[in-house]
Amino acid sequence: MTTLDIYIDDKPLKVEPGKTILEVCRENDIDIPTMCHLDGLTDVGACRLCLVEIEGVNKLQSSCTTKVSANMVIHTQTERLKRYRRITTELFFAERNHICAVCVANGNCELQQLGYKVGMDHIRYPYLFPSCEVDTSHDYMVMDHNRCIMCTRCVRVCGEVEGAYNWDVMNRGFNVRIISDFNTPWGESGTCTSCGKCMHACPTGAIWPKSLSGEQLHKNPEMISELVKKRKMNL
Amino acid sequence: MKPGLLTTSAELSKTDPRVKLIAAKIKKENARPEALIEILHTAQNAYGYLPMNVLSYITHSLHLPPSRVYAAVTFYHFFSLKSKGEHTCLVCTGTACYVKGAQAILHELEKQFGIKAGHVTADQKLGIQVARCVGACGLAPVVVLDDVVEAKVNADQIIQEIRAKIS
Ligand code: SF4
Ligand code: FES
């Protein structure tokens, strides 16, 4: 099989064509923070955390949506990238109303872990304090838009894996929100199958089961990746 | 599936020329989901905005998820989901109506109620809108008052009818 020669952080690697930079990094234990990527779902490059530098390319590229090509020289841990990752993380927190202390996901939240990882000790940007709804209309799950980072993992898992297409994104910019059907309360959706995959895919406390209270939430996004693999196996 | 969500054309009047216009457009496009934007344009041009039952009808006809249609509609500023105002007066400004004096009718309405097309009176009672063609050219000039298509209108008669509605 043909392989490509590439360099990541000065390390020479032989890789299969067709893979994304992120896939290659994960296989080689090179740590790149991500939020919108979830193994098994189509990558959309929404969160901009996985940016890398590629020599000869002016702009930073999202590693989840950029495929490797011959003789690429990639840097993943430069000072500039670290600075950007921290800025991006701070902007997530400033954009909505994330209050870890009162969140069911406290201690089990990918966003919170990201904050620790990039060394976020405070937020240098003004909080936007948008007014966000909490949709409690579903029988046993809650959608809290205050805690959503618009990664669209719920949207993709619902369409690509469950095939229900209950979720999508409405509006733009400051006003973007995840919606169910025609911006219908979740509990009145005609398409939701109540499978709970979005709850597991969601990296924050935005989607959570009603049966839980403080800090009990344990999500299992790997289950989604496993499910996608198993569905292809055709046993 | 819970009832009532994916409403069909049942709620729409089959004789409404605007409904026929949209149905024809959907047929012309072979109900391809990729033609969504084109079809929404037709609907918006006919109604001046996108009423929810019309959206349901389009969604149903194209077999698209409602969320996808709503996402497209709210992404583009051209589309509007709201008919503003308790009552709406939609003046067709398509070619046939234009030739038969739609512009003069519109001016007169704007003057009488003190608002421009696309706006609502301060008391929220009346919104005036324009449509590019409601698909009833044989009846020109056409004005649609709330949901009633009025044929071969003149300005005085329409103004009287509106006054009766909003007083
Ligand atoms: S609800 Fe969760 S999974 Fe969905 S976009 Fe928001 S943060 Fe992502
Ligand atoms: S993981 Fe690549 S942009 Fe989010």
Q: CATH number of the domain at A200, please.
A: 3.30.70.20
Q: What is the mean pLDDT of residues A91-113?
A: 95
pLDDT tens column, B112-166: 999 998 888 988 899 998 888 888 999 999 999 988 899 999 999 999 999 999 9
| pLDDT band with cut points at 50, 70 and 90 for residue A216 | confident
Q: Is A27 helix (H, G, I), strand (E, B) or coil?
A: helix
Output the pLDDT for position B4: 45
What is the 8-class DSSP label of residue A42? P
Window from A40-44, A112-116, B122-126 with minimum mean pLDDT? B122-126
Residues A140, A73 share a domain:
no
Q: What is the mean pLDDT of residues A161-179?
A: 96
A168 close contact with B: CB closer than 8 A? yes
pLDDT tens column, A180-198: 999 999 999 999 999 999 9
Q: Is A51 helix (H, G, I), strand (E, B) or coil?
A: strand
Residues 6+ apart with CB under 8 A from B167: none
Interface touch B71/A168, C-beta < 8 Å? yes
Residues of B in contact with A184 (CB under 8 A): 5, 66
Model confidence at A39: pLDDT above 90: yes
Token match 């149903």: residue?
B60
For residue A198, tell me if it sits in a domain. Answer: yes
Q: How far apart are CA B115 and CA B110, in angstroms?
A: 5
Q: What is the mean pLDDT of residues A25-37?
A: 98
Q: What does the domain layout of chain B look like in residue ranges? A: 17-75, 87-166
Top residue of A138, A177, A181 to mutate, by most chain B CBs within 10 Å, is A181
Model confidence at A227: pLDDT above 70: yes
Give the range of the structural domain holding residue A185, as residue numbers without chain letter.
Answer: 102-218
Output the pLDDT for position A136: 97
Specify the fold of B87-166.
Glutaredoxin (3.40.30)
For residue A95, tell me if it sits in a domain. Answer: no
Average pLDDT value for chain B:
89
Residues A199, A109 share a domain:
yes
Residue A136 is which amino acid? T
For residue A94, tell me if it sits in a domain. Answer: no
| pLDDT band with cut points at 50, 70 and 90 for residue B14 | confident
Residue A233 is which amino acid? M
DSSP string computed for B82-120: ---SSEEEEEE-SHHHHHTTHHHHHHHHHHHHT--TT-B
Alpha helices in chain A (DSSP H): 21-27, 79-95, 110-117, 153-156, 197-201, 221-233
Average pLDDT value for chain A:
95
Which residue, among A146, A176, A178, A175, has the nearest Cα to A165 in the 3D structure?
A178
Domain count for chain A, please give it.
2
For residue A228, tell me if it sits in a domain. Answer: no
Output the pLDDT for position B131: 87
- The larger pLDDT score, comparing residue A84 to residue B6, is at A84
Choose the final residue of a domain: A44, A77, A110: A77
Q: What is the mean pLDDT of residues A221-226?
A: 95
Q: How far apart are CA B74 and CA A24, in angstroms?
A: 37
| pLDDT band with cut points at 50, 70 and 90 for residue B2 | very low
Model confidence at B68: pLDDT above 60: yes
Residues A59, A121 share a domain:
no
For residue A199, tell me if it sits in a domain. Answer: yes
- Considering only CA atoms, which residue is closest to atom 2 of ligand 1? A202
Model confidence at B25: pLDDT above 90: yes
Which residue, among B5, B134, B135, has the nearest Cα to B60 in the 3D structure?
B5
Helix axes B102-113, B155-166, angle to 10 degrees: 40
Which CATH number is A34's domain given?
3.10.20.740
Model confidence at A71: pLDDT above 50: yes
For residue A56, tell me if it sits in a domain. Answer: yes
Output the pLDDT for position A214: 64
Residues A123, A26 share a domain:
no
Output the pLDDT for position A145: 98
Residues A52, A120 share a domain:
no
Q: What is the mean pLDDT of residues B59-83?
A: 93
Output the pLDDT for position A107: 92
A179 close contact with B: CB closer than 8 A? yes
Model confidence at B106: pLDDT above 80: yes
Token match 């109604």: residue?
B47
Top residue of B67, B70, B79 to mutate, by most chain A CBs within 10 Å, is B67
Q: How far apart are CA B158 and CA B61, in angstroms?
A: 35
Which residue, among B164, B160, B167, B90, has the nearest Cα to B132 in the 3D structure?
B90
Sign of CA dihedral A30, A36, A38, A44: negative
pLDDT tens column, B76-85: 978 989 776 8
Residues 6+ apart with CB under 8 A from A44: A36, A65, A152, A156
Output the pLDDT for position A217: 84
Ligand 2 centroid–CA A82 distance in Å is: 15
